[in-house]
Structure 1
Amino acid sequence: MTDIDARRRGRLDQSVIVDAVLALASDERDSRITFKRLGEALGVDATAMYRHFRNKEELTKAALDRLSGMAVEDARAVPGSWRERLERHMIRNAELSLKYPSVAAEWALVDPGGPGDLASDEHILETLSEGGLQGETLLRAYAAVSGFTLAQSAALAQDALNDGSGVRDGSIPWVTGFGGADLGPYPNVREHRDALLAMNGISVYRAGIQAILDSVERWAHEGAGAAAGE
């Protein structure tokens, strides 16, 4: 008996429906979730979804909010420095996006605005504050972390949906080729051609994380130096 079959035995509510959305997103990764498909999976008429969610966007927000909460919960479970916990948070967001691509592809378009999303914001601000940031610099770093994480996680999910190989580990090439173009006028591209072709989505994601967190540490150091000089 599958997880979705087991859910049919219980009462239909928002949590059960979101559970089913994520189960479908994990099992049927190449298709978008519809109320019709969700109703079939739960053994109910598609109209039953409207008793709990006004529309597909509201359902998507709830599913994304669940993923946000999961990423924070996993990050908080791992001891370590502020940087290690924040890095884990960002990596886990990408991992969940690759596991549930048909949901996570909406990250760049939909703001969940629920408890999971708020927990995510709280964790980012908390760890950055522990790193020594405050005031305007804290908010600037928050914007960089949050914006990068959501946009790149959505891009990883979309790549997974577009790719027909079933690969869900972020190993899809970042640069797929140069289309037979003459690289003569582009000396830097020509010099680094092989390295560029060796990059994949998750390696680019990890590089971005390191660049952002290195900047955070530098900003914190500069702020501490400025404060000491007052």
Structure 2
Amino acid sequence: MTKSSTGKTTNARRGRLPRGTLSQELIVKAAFRVADSSGMDRLTFQALGRELSAHPTAIYRHFRNKDELLLALIDALHEEALANTPPPTGDWAHDLMQIAIHTHDAFLRHPRVGALSAARPARRENEFLTVERKFDCLRRAGLNDTDAVRYHRVFADVVLSYSAMDASLASLAPEVREADVRAWKTDYLTLPADRYPNIARVAPQFVELDDPQNFVTAVQAIIDRIRARAEEHRRS
């Protein structure tokens, strides 16, 4: 605090948010900006205070700790994915694929948060809505309750873990990421054929490590299995 020329006490820092205007939504948006630009290690309440022109203690009124903030960021990823996912159609498989694609896209737009999101349930509204939509697809596919629960778990794990893995790759330093991607087009091509005959045979056809079709292929394999399981129910 400093005194002005009139003798009144004023804030030395300009632009500080007025008391009572800070919200969870504003904090989450600021947290994404800090994480996207500097990484999760630099995402501290002190850094958020600087980003928001607010005292760090004000953030504690909305989030008890960084882990609680992380769960809110994960739920915000689900919210972003839902906002971009088209409404349900008459094709459950198409709808399930759209949920997967837009979840993957959201993770890649915020890779430093997405890389930490696979195993953490957000336990918040947008995650609940996402799970509800996936179960709607599985029930329309023809699965009974037991299979719907099992295949939802497998589908969700594939989508989230693959999205987190791709986010981890995207969040690497550019030179590290480039070396990892290049390995499949250089290192593997030079392996001796007498020791690695199967690799030598297919190495020239290796797809890029970050090829988006890799994710789609993985999700399609799960959808195909769901369709096959539903057909087994119909036959029985």
Tell me the TM-score normalised to structure 2 length: 0.80
Q: CA deviation at 1:161?
A: 1.0
Name which of 178, 202, 210 aligns with 2:187. 178
Opposite residue 159 of structure 2, the aligned amino acid is T
Within 5 Å, give how 1:2-41 maps onto structure 2: 8=17, 11-26=21-36, 28=37, 31-32=39-40, 33-41=43-51
| Aligned-residue RMSD, C-alpha | 2.7
In structure 2, the residue matched to 1:216 is 226
In structure 1, the residue matched to 2:8 is none
Counterpart CA distance in 2 for 1:155 and 1:203 is 14
Paired residues in the alignment total: 215
In structure 2, the residue matched to 1:126 is 136
In structure 2, the residue matched to 1:45 is 55
- Structure 1 or 2, whichever has the larger Rg, is 2
SS of equivalent to 1:51: coil
Opposite residue 105 of structure 2, the aligned amino acid is E
Does the CA-based 8 Å contact 1:18-1:62 persist in structure 2? yes
Counterpart CA distance in 2 for 1:166 and 1:59 is 29
Does the CA-based 8 Å contact 1:108-1:150 persist in structure 2? yes
Does the CA-based 8 Å contact 2:191-2:200 persist in structure 1? no
Q: CA deviation at 1:76?
A: 4.3
Deviations along 1:116-166, whole A, 9 cap, x unmatched? 111111111111111111122212210111101111111111111114169
Structure 1 pair 76–173 and aligned structure 2 pair: CA distance change class (3 A): farther
Structure 1 pair 174–148 and aligned structure 2 pair: CA distance change class (3 A): farther
Structure 1 pair 78–127 and aligned structure 2 pair: CA distance change class (3 A): closer
Q: CA deviation at 1:112?
A: 0.7
Does the CA-based 8 Å contact 1:7-1:16 persist in structure 2? no
Structure 1 pair 162–193 and aligned structure 2 pair: CA distance change class (3 A): same
Opposite residue 97 of structure 2, the aligned amino acid is E
Q: CA deviation at 1:86?
A: 1.1
Within 5 Å, give how 1:77-116 maps onto structure 2: 77=87, 79=89, 81-116=91-126
Tell me the TM-score normalised to structure 1 length: 0.82
Within 5 Å, give how 1:136-215 maps onto structure 2: 136-164=146-174, 175=184, 177-178=186-187, 180-215=190-225
Does the CA-based 8 Å contact 1:108-1:154 persist in structure 2? yes
Counterpart CA distance in 1 for 2:162 and 2:16 is 32
Q: CA deviation at 1:72?
A: 2.6
Does the CA-based 8 Å contact 1:131-1:220 persist in structure 2? yes
Name which of 209, 219, 225 aligns with 2:235. 225
Counterpart CA distance in 1 for 2:95 and 2:176 is 30
Counterpart CA distance in 2 for 1:222 and 1:7 is 62
Counterpart CA distance in 1 for 2:107 and 2:183 is 17
Bigger shift: residues 58-67 or 193-202: 193-202
Counterpart CA distance in 2 for 1:15 and 1:184 is 59
Does the CA-based 8 Å contact 2:185-2:204 persist in structure 1? no
Deviations along 1:153-211, whole A, 9 cap, x unmatched? 111111111141699xxxx5694653654343332222110222534252221110111
Structure 1 pair 72–134 and aligned structure 2 pair: CA distance change class (3 A): farther
Counterpart CA distance in 2 for 1:66 and 1:201 is 25
Counterpart CA distance in 2 for 1:182 and 1:45 is 60
In structure 2, the residue matched to 1:62 is 72
Does the CA-based 8 Å contact 2:97-2:219 persist in structure 1? yes
Does the CA-based 8 Å contact 2:92-2:141 persist in structure 1? yes
Opposite residue 31 of structure 1, the aligned amino acid is G
